[in-house]
Structure 1
Amino acid sequence: MMRAMLEPGAGAPGFPAMRVLLPLLPIVLLAACGRQDGNQAEQSGVVANIMDQALPATDEPAPAPNAITPIEPPPDIETPAPPPAPAGLIPANVQGRWAGIGARCGDRSDALELTIAPDQLIFHESVGKVQSASAGADGRIAVQAAFTGEGESWTRTLSLKPSADGARLTIVNDGTAVTRKRC
């Protein structure tokens, strides 16, 4: 009898069937776990798996804790980017270098320093690429530009009003007017 317990292949009748059925036991137990009781299936509001309702249905994985969140949405691949603005949008009478009224011309640390090119406005800490410019009847020029500076991007419409002699330029931005002198 001891020999039957220690040696494989030696045993009492009926044990070989047990060896065949033993590996099937986990499959039978798993099948029984998925079965719903008839009474439970009829009850509304009974949660079969609480994790199905606890986790939101998302297609994207959560961003990493140190991920960079973009400020602007990614460009639409199907829509082509608009063509670059043609040169010469800003009239020649306002192009050039401008500084604050009390500042020295050429002082790069002046916060009011401005260089106006035909297609861009270069301020002390930002640059605006001109998207459109239109002249008004009173001599004002409305300039819409896409600005970048200090890690940010924005679009703004500025009103440029040169003086009659061309020595001064008043720029209105969001209701605030600043006058500069030509350098």
Structure 2
Amino acid sequence: MRTTVILAAALTLAACSGGESVDNQSGGSAAVEPTPNNLMDDPQNAVVPIPAPSPSPIAAIPAAFQGRWGMVGADCDPARADNKGLLTIAGDRLSFYESRGQAGSIRQLRPAQIAFDLPMSGEGMTWSEPTTLTLLDDGKTLVREAKGSPDRAGAFRYSRCPA
């Protein structure tokens, strides 16, 4: 009978605790940090940090980035003289409507992303444009991020021109 009373008292005490652990009641800390139900709610990876990949130097711009890229469909028409949004990547050279540059210090950031220094020249001027290229949509879309002077900086989206 005495065992039954002790067991009943222990169960009553546990039910009154509201489900908190003894550690939490005594001011102790939980061993596990809270994790959001949907990990997409944590885009900065604050709960589960993912280390950034280390850039790896590579010798040349990979073949997947090579070719002709247009900002609009008309840029891909070789018969047009006003294809101002055309970007041609051949070897380590990037050619725009009125400027050219040769990529140097090329680094692979991710499988579909590279970064490099891009000394440019055009219209009688020279400048440097640190650049990141990212392939999207299985290589059909290219995003070029330029980090040069404020008037040239920004992200630019291109579509691969038909062969």
The normalised TM-score by structure 1 is 0.48
Q: Indicate the percent of aligned positions where both proteins have the same amino acid.
A: 35
Cα displacement string for residues 1-24 of structure 1 (whole angstroms, at most 9, x for unaligned residues): xxxxxxxxxxxxxxxxxxxxxxxx
Q: Is 1:165 equivalent to 2:123 in the alignment? A: no
Aligned residue for 2:63?
92
How many Å apart are 1:123 and its aligned residue? 0.6
- AA at the equivalent of 1:180: Y
Q: Give the number of the structure with larger relative contact order, counting CA–CA contacts within 8 Å between residues 6 or more apart.
A: 2
Structure-1 separation of matches of 2:155 and 2:121: 21
How many Å apart are 1:100 and its aligned residue? 1.0
Aligned residue for 2:84?
111
RMSD: 1.7
Aligned residue for 2:158?
180
- AA at the equivalent of 2:143: T
Cα displacement string for residues 131-165 of structure 1 (whole angstroms, at most 9, x for unaligned residues): 22111126221021211100001111111011141
Task: Please identify which structure carries the higher strand content.
Answer: 2
Structure 2 runs not aligned, ≥5 long: 1-58, 148-152
Cα displacement string for residues 62-102 of structure 1 (whole angstroms, at most 9, x for unaligned residues): xxxxxxxxxxxxxxxxxxxxxxxxxx611100100011134
Contact 1:101 1:179 in 2 (8 A): no
Aligned residue for 1:14?
none
Higher Cα Rg, which structure? 1
1:8-47 alignment to 2 at 5 Å?
none
The normalised TM-score by structure 2 is 0.54
Cα displacement string for residues 41-66 of structure 1 (whole angstroms, at most 9, x for unaligned residues): xxxxxxxxxxxxxxxxxxxxxxxxxx
Aligned residue for 1:121?
94
Q: Secondary structure at the match of 1:165?
A: helix
Structure-1 separation of matches of 2:127 and 2:75: 29
- AA at the equivalent of 1:132: S
- AA at the equivalent of 2:74: A
Contact 2:115 2:132 in 1 (8 A): yes
Structure-2 separation of matches of 1:163 and 1:128: 23
Q: Is 1:151 equivalent to 2:124 in the alignment? A: yes
| Count of paired positions | 96
Structure 1 runs not aligned, ≥5 long: 1-87
Q: Secondary structure at the match of 2:64?
A: helix
